[in-house]
Structure 1
Amino acid sequence: MSRQTIPLKIIRKRFNDEIYCTGLILLAVTLIMFLIPALSPIEDELTWFFLNHAITVGYFLTLWISGRLRRGREGLHPFFLFLLMFLVSAYALNRLFPVFEVSAPWFAVMIILCAVNYFAFAFIRVVPVPVRIVMFFLLGLSLCCFLYMAIYVAPFTALGLLAFFFFGISLHALVPLLFFLYTIRLFRRSNARRRPYKLAFWSGIGITVLIVLVYTILWMMNVVEMGREYRRWSEKVRDTYLPAWLHVAAHITPNPVTGKVLRAEMVYTTADGWERPFFNFGSSLNWNEARKHDPLVMIASTLCGTTMMTDEDRIHILKFLYDSRYEAEERLWSGDDLTTTHVQTSARIWPRLRMAYTEKTVNVKNNRIITERGRWRNNQEAIYIFHLPEGAVVSSLSLWINNKEEKGLLTTKAKADSAYKTIVGVENRDPSVVHWQEGNTVTVRVFPVLDNEERQFKLGITAPLSLEHGALIYRNIYFDGPVTSSTGEDVEISFETPPADLQKGGIFSKEKDGRLTASGPYSADWQLSFKDEGLVHQLFSANGKVFSVTPYRKELATADISDVYLDVNSVWSKNEYNTVLSLLGHKRVWVYIDEMMEQVTEQNRSELFKQAAASRFSLFPFFKISQPSTAIVISKGVVNSPSVDDLENTRFMDALKGWLAGGQHVMLYNLGGELSPYLRTLKECRTFRYDQGDIAALKALLDAHRFPASIENDQRIVIESAGMTINETPGTEVSTAPDHLQRLFAYNHIMHAMGPRLLTGGNESDTLVAEAAESYIVTPLSSLVVLEKQEDYDRFNIKESNNSLKNASLKSKGAVPEPHEWALIVIGLLLIVYLKFRPVLFKRVAAI
């Protein structure tokens, strides 16, 4: 018989085997039934499990009755089809009684590969030798996987044997053990004596053991490092400004293993926390991430333990080190089944005013389906965190209720928060609210998003453009929120005047009227750029005030600097450090290390840099500056670092608030990069005389003994990123600019006027609250809220302001007519009436 006919004969033999073909069909059916609840989440998962289980039992009985399980009846490959059905049934049961949490993605892929490999072994004589070697390698890997799973479910195996009489359901605990035993048998029956195949099989086992060993060592190193640093600073708790977890975060290196060490027990199943799925259905932790099962984490944590830090401390680190503030956001209701289905971005750009207004219309859906009558509806809360450009402000909010767009009303933050929490927490009805947060972010909350239903809200943002190297940049306003992996996005951007030298990227198409449009998957990271043609003189007038823009020009003032403080961290290079030191001459230079201010000398300069640069980020203690008026701090920002909010209830924050309350100001020079959240918040509080640039620009300032002065006051605010100032003057003029000019001025003026009170607290200024209400903007003092009924607004004393800009819009400027404009309108209407009815009046007069 020729070699070419052997594979065909084997294939025909397999597919002429009725029991084997029946197994293939039933396996496909069980997979489909398993996937139906996964693709369309429903509550009635018990029925689907019993269907899977019934098919599995039926096929096993078929094998038994037909005698295929006897020795010499070639029943091994049909038996593996039964085992694969049994595995599918076990995972279906796991949805109802979670012995295993949701598998880590890599482990889920591995189980699928192993399952496909078991099926392929029925045709091993057909495939080429290199493929066979891969199959034996995967077989060795499969042996390790199912050995692990057998050990993991070992506590339930005895129970499975004792309770087998209950429809055999408990026997699912034996599935991993059966796979382990029959994998050994399959290896022995499949030409395992040939050296290449044996080598491949044992290589699969060896590689698996090596991976587990390396991962365990990395895990141990992280646990030991965290524990050492945590113990060191915990012992000094009475003498330190910062908590121990902050010192740990400053000295660990973020990587996948570190992240899992921090999430262990909270997210990843461990030996110490295996009982949580059974006895802790509602977690009190403020961490919103689905629990997962990762065998590497389980093995490593069992052998080496977990970090000694508390859950609260680990959450603090995860929030900023892994950019996970969204997961740590306070929730009144779950949002586990929510996905973002669509985003509509509409923007209007004024190139010659360096500003834009953007509306984000977001659709969010609850993918859970209720099929049983009388079941409670699964209300869920949608939370979005929008990241705004510096100086930007939210100026409109809408929520669709009963398919009708309902506009938000502006009120104080306290009233909006009280209304939202009362209605959501107690009455379960429709509200939405948007709150200001530190660090150029706002939080939008929408409730309820019901089972298999979709909600829609719209957020409007007034923002300055970014001026960079002679070009204006419009960046997409992105958000953190429910899953966006399958989200679609439509974008439409229009310009008040045609932009020059437009760089629009490949996703945009240009329409005949100059609009830019794009449609496709949602992307958080896109931008437009065009040439800056300078500011034009345009005005917006309302309520006896005129707002106008002018270019920002730094006004240098004398700077008598005696002390220089270097805020050194891991983003500094040794060359930068040495170059800066060479510029400072005989000035006193200080570096902050381990909560001590050390003066730099020729003898210690290298050692001080080594210690300071070992810290991933820095939190400079401005309260330790002895003479702020003659001091300058030179810094470089680290984006993934703590915010002021993370420092609440620490001695560091108490000391900083005391320093800020004294009205202290210091010069801060940023050598490059985005400011850290901590420094950005202090900059918002107008704590600094601020400037940024390279070392050459710093040298010029030091040589001239000058530094930019703060030129903001009640009539002028600076938007540094846009290179412009907005001025307010009394008077009345015809408006030629959009009302967004007033909104930007009001927001930045309120931030300037509040200054350190943003952090230190104090009584709210009625004047500033009124300014926010007049401009209809979200600030630390004000929020936008949408409630379901007018009675709800009345109950919480939330009223519409009659003398305000109202919600911003793409279609109107929102100007409030001035008294003289009202007079002109009235005169115009009277003139129209006179001209229309003049013939009739003349006829009546003539008749008289």
Structure 2
Amino acid sequence: MKNLKAILYHDSVLKLGLILITISAGLFFIEESGLFEVSEGAAFSIFFCNYFLSVFYFFAMIRYRKELRYWALLLVLWFISAFALNLGMNVFDKSVTWLCVLICLSCVALILSVFMDELGQKLKHVVVFLLGSAFVLFVYYSIYLTSMYLIGIFAAIVIGLSLHVFVPAGLAIVTFITIKKAVQGSRSLKVAAATGVLIPIIACSIFIWQWKSINNQVNLAINHNTLSEGKLPTWVVISQNIPKNALAERIIKAGIVYKTANLSDNWFWGDWNKASFDEPKKHDPFVVIASLFGGDLNLDEKERIKILEALYDSRHQAQERLWNGDKLKTANVITNVKIFPEYRLAYTEKTLTVHNTGTHGWWGRGEAIYTFHVPEGSVVSSLSLWIDGKEQKSRLTTKAKADSAYHQIVGVEQHDPSVIHWQEGNTVTARIFPCTPEENRKFRVGITSPLRKQGDMLTYESSYFDGPSPESAAEAVQVSFSKKPEGLNMPNFDEISEGIYTADRLYQPDEQITFKAPPLAGVPFAFAGKGYQLKDYQPQTTSFNPEAIYLDLNANWSASELNELWPAIKTKKVYYYDGKLETLTEENRDNVYSRMSKLNFSMFPVNEIKHPESSLLITKCAETSPNLHDLDESDFGKALTAYLPNAKPLQLYNIGTSLTPYLKALKEMRVFTYNEGDATTLQSRVAKHEFTRSQEDSTHVVLAQSGLVIEQTADTLKTGNAPDHLLRLFAYNDIMKKVGPHYFDKTYVQSDIIDEANQAFIASPVSSLIVLETQKDYERFGIDENKNSLQNASAKSSGAVPEPGEWLLILVVIAVINFLVYRSKHVQPEL
């Protein structure tokens, strides 16, 4: 340590270089870390500071130009400056995490090499090892930038900015000379340096081998699907069969998110005609090299995005975007929850503020797109957008009209709209435009949700969202109860008054509040001549002895589950699906399981079950699969289109706890009667011939997860403060029942279904919520004010709405009272 201090004391040029590197790295950290908000103008200012420090040190050390150590420090300064420039002029794209770590370690190793003679033996070996890896990295960057060398020479006259492209080549030369000098006369140091060089080369070779392996699996899946004339799209079969891991995801994203060595295009400038995928572009040297030596995947970009949607839950990133939103972030979140324990439902309002960190002006505008993940059975029942500082509430219209208006206004006219669309898989999408740097944009979404019942406990589950990053967003939460329940568990909340709780914190996507379930309220909600009454759901069984059993096998089944279940079902006809229905027997069971257990998910064609009324489908699945709408134009989808209008009741038993989006959509559409439990319970059900009986009809909907039945009645006399959300939940479930048989042919867009959605004012497959800027905008797109409707839900007023007859009675009473008051004041009594 004393020697180091002495060296720095006597070598002012060396000390200056270290000080400037520290300052330059600090400036770069401020810009790159995201911990501090930096505008684009400030980012360029930071770069020029980095650049100035590099130029300043160049002139400070130029008279000592034969000293290798000074060149090492200068090139590190230039390297930092190059990456600062890269933030404004995209050359490398964003480096992946392992690459960032290696870059930092390489620079540290090069700085430490300046003091090589003063280092201990162990540290010297570590530094030499890191220098070996750094040399490989710098050589890679040198080759990567070869297409820029000619431009760099001719553009150097412009204050030398283009000379940054030669920095990696200079670093490679300096690193090689440094290693050569350091390892002289030491066999162990030579081994350390060689190891540092070989490890990244070996790692890259393994990556290329895995790339080729997955590429081969993709080609095999394509060939087998073609030979078998499979009804599923090829990309679905590929999604089922390729490994589901980070490496496979990176390979599928190559060319979409990750830079590749596509020699047929301009390597440097890239392809501006990419399909929309909202994920920052990244630079991974392994992907670049593997794309050069491992061969192209036999998939086009749309197929890759479909695979990412189905296998890696990337549907939000694949949403259509009319304007860029990469400069947007969620600044704060206000969550207002009203829980009705006696009705087993809740209403949640989320008010979000969107902040734009881009440049001011027309080009700085952004489109905010949010995907809200809501609890099962939930429905969006309100939308507000703040325009010129005032809250403007939404209107409900058909999905087609809302989509047409939004595209016209955002894509052509570019002023204020907001829209919410229903999506499969318990999600909705919200779009807000424009979001400008001049002012924050605020909007509110209201969600009606049933509570989940387990035993004698109820659970409230919050909705969460994908969208502009909520990292560091402040959240204010208020939870209130219509009646304070017993056994309340909500840690980290403060009770500010009876039944009202608050919390101030950073945004938290997951929230669960549990409490004991009180008796159901007996007061119905009444509207438009109908009442909506709650009843406890008591599952009723029916005698059912299936003649045939169908196993929906995939990777989520364990061998022990199949072996445990087999004795109870082997006496019946047992089938599985592997491109076509096949018989499962004692002899082929192990081979079938070995093959089917490699599938990431399954897509069992319920339409191919010949006698569904006497059949049992047993499933266990993860939460990933294509959505129903992904199959629209496929043979699989066409077969379902023909089947659904006349589908007969099918018993489905889930031995897991989750469903794929495919089965979840079919469940909402009541394609099957749903049963859930473990394999042991299923064996008992099969032995006793007892399975759940559907209790739904045109006037009853069942919310099994809440233990509820909502009954529609003609009795509107017994009304009180029942929340209007009873009608909203009934309507949503009733609409899904009606939509199911015609989901693919789109003939479900009927006036009676639209009227039902309008009355309940909910987002659904046929209806969307939209906010436009002016009354004229509504008129020209034919979006009328909603009549005979509950309108936007509100946390302030969730009670019963008087019937038209009740309004008339109220007016009559008021008129009589006014007459009596007037008479007492102005009419003199006769003597």
The two structures share one fold, judged by TM-score above 0.5: yes
Partner Cα distance (1:389, 1:273) in 2: 47
Partner Cα distance (1:29, 1:672) in 2: 56
* 2:489 maps to which of 503, 512, 525: 503
The residue aligned with 2:658 is 674
Counterpart check, 1:150 vs 2:136:
no
The residue aligned with 1:753 is 738
Partner Cα distance (1:9, 1:559) in 2: 88
The residue aligned with 1:8 is 2
Counterpart check, 1:254 vs 2:244:
yes
The residue aligned with 1:4 is none
**Contact map agreement 1:369 1:452 (CA 8 A) in 2:** no
The residue aligned with 1:493 is 479
Moved more, 829-838 or 204-213: 829-838
TM-score (ref. length: structure 1):
0.92
The residue aligned with 2:14 is 20
Partner Cα distance (2:619, 2:183) in 1: 67
Q: What count of residue pairs does the alignment treat as equivalent?
A: 826
Partner Cα distance (1:470, 1:14) in 2: 72
Offset, 1:138 = 2.0
Partner Cα distance (2:522, 2:276) in 1: 50
Partner Cα distance (1:121, 1:515) in 2: 63
Partner Cα distance (1:111, 1:760) in 2: 54
Offset, 1:45 = 6.1
* 1:526 maps to which of 490, 504, 511: 511
Moved more, 615-624 or 196-205: 196-205
Partner Cα distance (2:659, 2:326) in 1: 33
Q: What is the DSSP-based 3-state SS (H/G/I as helix, E as strand, rest coil) of the residue aligned with 1:547?
A: strand
Partner Cα distance (1:118, 1:174) in 2: 17
How big is each residue's C-alpha offset from its partner over 1:73-114, in whole Å with a ceiling of 9 and x where there is no partner?
xx3333222112211232244345433222112212321222
Q: What is the DSSP-based 3-state SS (H/G/I as helix, E as strand, rest coil) of the residue aligned with 1:642?
A: coil
**Contact map agreement 1:361 1:458 (CA 8 A) in 2:** yes
Q: What is the DSSP-based 3-state SS (H/G/I as helix, E as strand, rest coil) of the residue aligned with 2:800?
A: coil
**Contact map agreement 1:99 1:277 (CA 8 A) in 2:** no
Query: How do 1:70-149 residues align onto structure 2 when only pairs under 5 Å count?
Result: 70=66, 75-95=67-87, 97-124=89-116, 129-149=121-141
Counterpart check, 1:213 vs 2:223:
no
How big is each residue's C-alpha offset from its partner over 1:560-582, in whole Å with a ceiling of 9 and x where there is no partner?
52111111111112222233231
Q: What is the DSSP-based 3-state SS (H/G/I as helix, E as strand, rest coil) of the residue aligned with 2:262?
A: helix
Cα distance 1:52–1:703, how it changes in 2: closer, same or farther (>3 A)?
closer
The residue aligned with 2:327 is 337
The residue aligned with 1:383 is 369
Matching residue's letter, 2:450: P
Offset, 1:824 = 4.4
Q: What is the DSSP-based 3-state SS (H/G/I as helix, E as strand, rest coil) of the residue aligned with 2:363?
A: coil
* 2:440 maps to which of 444, 449, 454: 454
Cα distance 1:92–1:710, how it changes in 2: closer, same or farther (>3 A)?
same
Moved more, 324-333 or 268-277: 268-277
The residue aligned with 1:840 is 825
How big is each residue's C-alpha offset from its partner over 1:641-661, in whole Å with a ceiling of 9 and x where there is no partner?
222122221101101111112
**Contact map agreement 2:239 2:310 (CA 8 A) in 1:** no
Partner Cα distance (1:87, 1:521) in 2: 36
The residue aligned with 2:603 is 619
Offset, 1:823 = 4.0
* 1:177 maps to which of 169, 182, 186: 169
- Consecutive unaligned residues of structure 1, counting only runs of 5 or more, are 1-6
Moved more, 120-129 or 715-724: 120-129
Partner Cα distance (1:270, 1:755) in 2: 43
**Contact map agreement 2:244 2:600 (CA 8 A) in 1:** no
Partner Cα distance (1:540, 1:385) in 2: 31
The residue aligned with 1:362 is 352
Moved more, 197-206 or 217-226: 197-206
How big is each residue's C-alpha offset from its partner over 1:429-465, in whole Å with a ceiling of 9 and x where there is no partner?
0000001112211111111111364211111011101
Query: How do 1:713-792 residues align onto structure 2 when only pairs under 5 Å count?
Result: 713-732=697-716, 733-762=718-747, 764-792=749-777
Query: How do 1:305-344 residues align onto structure 2 when only pairs under 5 Å count?
Result: 305-344=295-334
**Contact map agreement 1:408 1:807 (CA 8 A) in 2:** yes
Counterpart check, 1:638 vs 2:622:
yes
The residue aligned with 1:56 is 54
Moved more, 781-790 or 729-738: 729-738
Offset, 1:512 = 4.5
Q: What is the DSSP-based 3-state SS (H/G/I as helix, E as strand, rest coil) of the residue aligned with 1:377?
A: helix
Cα distance 1:28–1:632, how it changes in 2: closer, same or farther (>3 A)?
same
Offset, 1:258 = 0.5
Matching residue's letter, 1:429: H
Partner Cα distance (2:87, 2:707) in 1: 57
**Contact map agreement 1:803 1:816 (CA 8 A) in 2:** no
Give me the identity figure in percent: 37
Counterpart check, 1:296 vs 2:286:
yes
Cα distance 1:276–1:348, how it changes in 2: closer, same or farther (>3 A)?
farther
Partner Cα distance (1:802, 1:642) in 2: 37
Counterpart check, 1:417 vs 2:403:
yes
**Contact map agreement 2:637 2:744 (CA 8 A) in 1:** no
Offset, 1:693 = 1.8
Partner Cα distance (2:18, 2:646) in 1: 78
Query: How do 1:158-237 residues align onto structure 2 when only pairs under 5 Å count?
Result: 159-161=151-153, 164-190=156-182, 193-194=185-186, 197-236=189-228
Partner Cα distance (2:809, 2:616) in 1: 55
Cα distance 1:825–1:166, how it changes in 2: closer, same or farther (>3 A)?
closer
- Consecutive unaligned residues of structure 2, counting only runs of 5 or more, are none
How big is each residue's C-alpha offset from its partner over 1:513-572, in whole Å with a ceiling of 9 and x where there is no partner?
233333322222231222223423121112221111001122333435211111111111
Q: What is the DSSP-based 3-state SS (H/G/I as helix, E as strand, rest coil) of the residue aligned with 2:565?
A: helix
**Contact map agreement 2:336 2:478 (CA 8 A) in 1:** yes
Partner Cα distance (2:509, 2:698) in 1: 36
**Contact map agreement 1:11 1:123 (CA 8 A) in 2:** no
Counterpart check, 1:698 vs 2:682:
yes
Counterpart check, 1:351 vs 2:341:
yes
Matching residue's letter, 2:130: L
Offset, 1:491 = 1.9
Cα distance 1:130–1:511, how it changes in 2: closer, same or farther (>3 A)?
farther
Partner Cα distance (2:632, 2:174) in 1: 58
Offset, 1:793 = 0.9
The residue aligned with 1:650 is 634
Offset, 1:607 = 2.1
Counterpart check, 1:628 vs 2:622:
no
Matching residue's letter, 2:7: K
Partner Cα distance (1:754, 1:191) in 2: 74
Cα distance 1:144–1:707, how it changes in 2: closer, same or farther (>3 A)?
same
TM-score (ref. length: structure 2):
0.94
**Contact map agreement 1:349 1:355 (CA 8 A) in 2:** yes
The residue aligned with 2:525 is 540
Matching residue's letter, 1:377: W
**Contact map agreement 1:686 1:756 (CA 8 A) in 2:** no
Q: What is the DSSP-based 3-state SS (H/G/I as helix, E as strand, rest coil) of the residue aligned with 2:587?
A: coil
Offset, 1:123 = 4.4
Matching residue's letter, 1:425: G
Cα distance 1:638–1:184, how it changes in 2: closer, same or farther (>3 A)?
same
Offset, 1:705 = 3.1
The residue aligned with 1:804 is 789
